[in-house]
A and B are shown apart, each in its own frame.
Chain A
């Protein structure tokens, strides 16, 4: 089922990436490639730097004061931390689903349409079409189709999470960063999101953070194990889960720590 067409084109490469919150070093010389049309799962115990790393890839950490980035991240061979880079344009190409659902205090429809509107789409029909398509993809349509114009804050936590997925999909980015997208979902919705990830892989490059080992095993082609700000090991998911090279990885995967 997986890795049927594993091309080896790196879409994103991180090289010797160090990241500091003030004086605290949160990422320590991370080097890893993410290939086109592949799903990479980032796993590791809480606080090991998965979210921090993910947020480096769309320069979301820039908003935090006192941070420092060393090393290099390239997307399509372009250094995203180079001074000339247009951050707005970069973020248009890299969608993100945050760890905590953060819907706008607007209607459900407006939440999903927002990205399209700020990206200059004005055609009402096109917007409506894309909104419906994205909400369907995020397995939320049946629950909200009657109340698209109600406030998104009235949704449950899991529904909000899927709304945020729909919102990220609507703008059709090239890369999709998902930070624990299923943490608040029931098994049925989780399965739908996993199926979605599998379909999206045809066109997107996906990086997903998850605490669920089965999910990592089911959805990803490559798995990367982080521990205390370091990348301990990354490789094909099958290999990582059957014969990991490092003892720590094995301990984590089998649930002996973390």
Chain B
């Protein structure tokens, strides 16, 4: 009697967790379905190729143009420039923390860097607007400080904490015995870092970079605030751009429900989803690929 009651309770628990798990997963699946359902109709009006590679984004003009190429270029170039800033800074900070800094300093600095990751993006965007934009305007003699470069810097500061902390974990977990082997052969600590520690931590570092960049490419608030918002293919890094997430956020409110503009914005969402999805797949692949297999059988 008692025994079967315990069994019953256990079964009940199992079903409860199953229910919770299926609920959250099915809601996520529904959102994805919804995204495709609301986005795909635009392709009845505009071909996929014209949508992706079209040079003109005039959703409210008559006739309307739904070419998101400038937006894609905006996203990609902002992300690339921010990568050029965040990868070296993030990885080098990680190297400093794990290989050079004293353990006391490391214990102070690492939580601070992690804390940076929790800065709300609206704060970063605000900083870009009121501090960085005027600075750029004054010192580079340009029309507006709200531009691609500003957005790239701000996004870089959003990815650096991710890149730095995950890379640091990867570097720190490289076995001391490998470093010892290198030093014992007469390598300097610098050679050891470059030729042994970094390559051994490569998988973790690549994962860190991809995760950091995927944070930058999906970021909406910052680019909305500081990228300038011009839907054109930029000619210089000081031109304003309109990345994909910023376009959706800026135009959602004014797009008539179930109109072409509305469908087009959801289609942008699909493109963005595919971008970040690929980033995550790559991150997953990289973190599995370089994982060491078969340690010494000792």
Chain A neighbourhood of B175, CB < 8 A: 102
Interface mask (B159-196 → A, CB under 8 Å = 1, otherwise 0): 00000000000000001111111111111100100011
Interface mask (B280-298 → A, CB under 8 Å = 1, otherwise 0): 0000000000001111111
User: Could you tell me the distance in whole angstroms from the C-beta of B56 to the nearest C-beta in chain A?
Assistant: 51
Chain B residue with Cβ nearest A65: B103
Q: Count how many chain B residues have C-beta atoms less than 8 Å from C-beta atoms of the other chain.
A: 27
Task: Say if the beta carbon of B199 comes within 8 Å of chain A.
Answer: yes
CA distance A205 to B187 in the complex (A): 21
Q: How large is the interface on A (under 10, 10 to 19, 20 to 34, 35 or more residues)?
A: 20 to 34
Task: Say if the beta carbon of B78 comes within 8 Å of chain A.
Answer: no
Is there contact, CB below 8 Å, between A184 and B200? no
Q: How many residue pairs, one in A and one in B, have C-beta atoms under 8 Å apart?
A: 87
Task: Say if the beta carbon of A96 comes within 8 Å of chain B.
Answer: yes
Is there contact, CB below 8 Å, between B181 and A118? no
Chain A residue with Cβ nearest B176: A63
Supply 14 A–B pairs (Cβ within 8 Å), ascending by A.
Answer: A60-B184, A63-B176, A63-B179, A91-B183, A100-B296, A100-B298, A102-B175, A103-B181, A104-B181, A105-B200, A105-B292, A114-B187, A168-B185, A171-B185
Chain A neighbourhood of B176, CB < 8 A: 63
The residue from B103, B179, B181, B297 contacting A157, defined by CB atoms under 8 A apart: B297
**CB contact under 8 A between A63 and B183, given known A102-B177, A102-B178:** yes
Chain A residue with Cβ nearest B202: A105
Q: Which residues in window 88-112 of A have CB below 8 A to B? A: 88-89, 91-93, 95-96, 98, 100-106
Chain B residue with Cβ nearest A92: B186
User: Could you tell me the distance in whole angstroms from the C-beta of B199 to the nearest C-beta in chain A?
Assistant: 7
Task: Say if the beta carbon of A48 comes within 8 Å of chain B.
Answer: no
Chain B neighbourhood of A95, CB < 8 A: 184-185
CA distance A115 to B295 in the complex (A): 22
The 4 closest A-B pairs by CB, nearest first: A92-B186, A115-B185, A102-B177, A118-B187
**CB contact under 8 A between A102 and B181, given known A65-B103, A118-B195, A160-B296:** yes
Chain A neighbourhood of B180, CB < 8 A: 60, 63, 98, 102
Task: Say if the beta carbon of A148 comes within 8 Å of chain B.
Answer: no
CA distance A93 to B184 in the complex (A): 9
Chain B neighbourhood of A96, CB < 8 A: 184
CA distance A214 to B117 in the complex (A): 60
Is there contact, CB below 8 Å, between B195 and A114? yes
Chain B neighbourhood of A156, CB < 8 A: 297
**CB contact under 8 A between A88 and B188, given known A105-B199, A184-B298:** yes
A-B contact sample (10 more), CB < 8 A, given A88-B188, A168-B184: A58-B184, A60-B183, A63-B183, A103-B181, A104-B182, A104-B200, A106-B199, A118-B187, A118-B191, A156-B297
Task: Say if the beta carbon of A8 comes within 8 Å of chain B.
Answer: no
Task: Say if the beta carbon of A164 comes within 8 Å of chain B.
Answer: yes
The residue from A88, A93, A164, A171 contacting B181, defined by CB atoms under 8 A apart: A164
Chain B neighbourhood of A63, CB < 8 A: 176, 179-180, 183
User: Could you tell me the distance in whole angstroms from the C-beta of A179 to the nearest C-beta in chain B?
Assistant: 11
The residue from B184, B196, B292 contacting A153, defined by CB atoms under 8 A apart: B292
Chain B residue with Cβ nearest A184: B298
Most chain B CB within 10 A, of A98, A114, A156, is at A114
